[in-house]
Amino acid sequence: MPTCAQTRISHQLPEGLLEPLTVPQAPWSHLSIDFLNDLPSSGGFTSMMVITDCFSKACKLVPMKGLPTAMQPAEALLQHVFHNFGLLEDIVSDRGSQFTSGVWRSFCEQLGIRISLSSGYHPNPTVRQSI
């Protein structure tokens, strides 16, 4: 059975075009989201959702229990960002399963939020991949 790179099945999202990120014109209109995992347990919390405003570089940290699902970032945004600052235009994230799931895509689509994924092998917060 051949195992060369050309015949293997890819489990990655299809490639897209790299584009520079839109420069935010207001605070909390463009966010960057990521997770810190495998932290020492504190009250049962072992992960941290890091939400960074791309305009001001202000940061919100949301503690989470275990590895986050696709619904947990959505719930955290509703509670910690939308409740205080309103809806936003764009979210930049890595290609974690939470951000490539149908649940996350549907959540963002319903609210009119653009999803921008950092490039897989060279994550750069100034470049997004259109999907």
Is pLDDT at 79 greater than 60 in this prediction?
yes
Q: Which one-letter DSSP state was computed for residue 45?
A: B
3-class SS of residue 80: helix
Q: How confident is the model at residue 25 (pLDDT cuts 50, 70, 90)?
A: confident
- In a 13 Å sphere around the CA of 116, the CA atoms on its Cβ side amount to 22
Is pLDDT at 36 greater than 80 in this prediction?
yes
> Residue 117 forms beta bridges with which residues?
93, 129
Backbone angles phi, psi at 84, to 5 degrees: -95, -35
Give the global pTM. 0.76
Segments of the chain assigned E as strands: 18-20, 30-36, 47-53, 59-64, 90-93, 114-117, 127-129
Is pLDDT at 123 greater than 70 in this prediction?
no
- Are 88 and 96 in contact by the 8 Å Cβ rule? The answer is no
Residue 114 amino acid letter: R
